[in-house]
Amino acid sequence: MSDLITPVLLARELGILANTSGTPASTSGSVANTSGTAGSGAPHPVVLDVRWRLMGPPAGPDHAAARIPGAVFVDLGAQLASPAATTGGPGGGGRHPLPDPAALQEVLRRAGVGDDSAVVAYDDADGSAAARAWWLLRWSGLRADRVRVLDGGFAAWTAEGLPLAGEAVAEADRAPEPAVVPGDVVVRPGAMPVLDADGAAALARRGVLLDARAGARYRGETEPVDPRAGHIPGARNVPFAGNVGADGRWLSPSDLADRFRSAGVTDPTAVGVYCGSGVTASSLVLALEEAGVTSPDAPAALYPGSWSEWSSDPARPAATGPEPDGPTSAGNAP
């Protein structure tokens, strides 16, 4: 079972392409809460557009202009996270704490998600924003075999020449869109393991803690967003951007496994992940599972507060340099 789906397969499941001929099929009808394939009589998957940029601008206008037919836009910063917090609350601290379960449930229901829905998330970058939605859906209790990320994202969809909807699409080419029927999902948080700061520090010693940020941030050479530079002592650097190739498609399971093996991740090593604010690290959770290093029954643990929470606490040390246990310093955060 893969956590990824190709654009052509998604188009077939949406009924946009016929299964046999590859020719366009009707996309009329309603978005329902479980998935199927074109011609099977089963409902279509719910598609979430999770395009997002850390430093802006907002991606909502991009969705309005052009989107996968039937996709519902979900704002990662506003709807897939709680307001930023310097200390741990119910959803953790940092820049993108986990969302309030009741608020997330409302967002997902408006998008058409039900308890038995198949859901596909996409973005327009490296899959990390879509992976945040994937992780939250799994954390909310949806079955692992019902949640996937579009391999290659929106760019791969358009590269295949598949139909689009949106106001910037010529009317003659604009695909019809189904109505969105509200879902009935019940968010039951806790189905994916999480770490707090103390748990992350402990895992860096008794297992493997992976830092998903770019190497320069891990080494402490630069820190454009958070209070201090460096990394959690003992953490190993596996930048999330390396999960995908130059074409934006995810690496093969064997190539992903090689990445993690080189970082010392071997089954059955306990493994956790963090990044700047708990968003891009979600893609490492997915990549570890896709590689077969972890499994849906025993996924990697996510530290939602991540470096933005850790670095805001002046009592916590920061290591620098390329090694997990590089020189450390006490906090100097205000």
Residues 27 and 167 in one domain: yes
Residues 163 and 20 in one domain: yes
| 280 token code pair | 């891009």
Any domain includes 334: no
Any domain includes 158: yes
Any domain includes 12: yes
Between CA 189 and CA 137 the distance in angstroms is: 9
Cβ(176)–Cβ(146) under 8 Å? Answer: no
Which residues share a beta bridge with 318?
329
Annotation says 289 is catalytic: no
Q: What is the pLDDT along the chain (334 residues), one digit of tens a residue?
A: 799 999 999 999 999 987 544 555 443 332 223 333 334 456 799 999 999 988 778 899 999 999 999 999 999 999 999 987 655 555 568 899 999 999 999 999 999 999 999 999 999 999 999 999 999 999 999 999 999 999 999 999 999 999 999 999 999 999 999 889 999 999 999 999 999 999 999 999 999 999 999 999 999 999 999 999 999 999 999 999 999 999 999 999 999 999 999 998 987 779 999 999 999 999 999 999 999 999 999 999 999 999 999 999 999 999 999 999 998 877 544 3
Question: Residue 210's domain is classified under what CATH number?
Answer: 3.40.250.10
Catalytic residue, from 136, 275, 281, 291: name it: 275
Instruction: Give the start-end residues of each E strand in the chain.
Output: 4-5, 30-31, 46-49, 72-73, 119-122, 147-150, 179-180, 208-211, 236-237, 271-274, 301-302, 318-319, 328-329
Supply the DSSP symbol for 43: P
Closest CA to 83 of 63, 70, 98: 98
Residues 264 and 165 in one domain: no
Residues 288 and 213 in one domain: yes
Among candidate residues 147, 180, 213, the one where a domain is terminated = 180
Q: Which domain, by its residues, includes 176? A: 4-180
| 277 token code pair | 């604010």
Residues 6+ apart with CB under 8 A from 24: 16, 17, 18, 163
Between CA 120 and CA 24 the distance in angstroms is: 20
Residues 237 and 289 in one domain: yes
Among candidate residues 155, 180, 205, the one where a domain is terminated = 180
Tally Cβ neighbours within 10 Å of residue 227: 18
Residues 98 and 157 in one domain: yes
Any domain includes 20: yes
Any domain includes 307: yes
Residues 142 and 96 in one domain: yes
Residues 176 and 201 in one domain: no
Among candidate residues 152, 180, 208, the one where a domain is terminated = 180
Cβ(244)–Cβ(267) under 8 Å? Answer: no
Question: What angle is formed at CA 101 by the lines to CA 36 and CA 29, rounded to 5 degrees?
Answer: 25
Residues 144 and 226 in one domain: no
Question: What angle is formed at CA 232 by the lines to CA 75 and CA 246, rounded to 5 degrees?
Answer: 55
DSSP 299-333: PPEE-SSHHHHHTT-TTS-EE-SSSTT--EE----
Residues 142 and 113 in one domain: yes
Any domain includes 187: no
Give the pLDDT of residue 333: 40
Residues 151 and 13 in one domain: yes
| 96 token code pair | 């993108």
- Furthest-apart CA pair in the chain: how many Å? 63
Any domain includes 214: yes
Overall number of domains in the chain:
2
Cβ(232)–Cβ(260) under 8 Å? Answer: no
Any domain includes 192: no
Is the Cα torsion angle 113, 148, 142, 198 positive or negative in sign? negative
Residues 246 and 167 in one domain: no
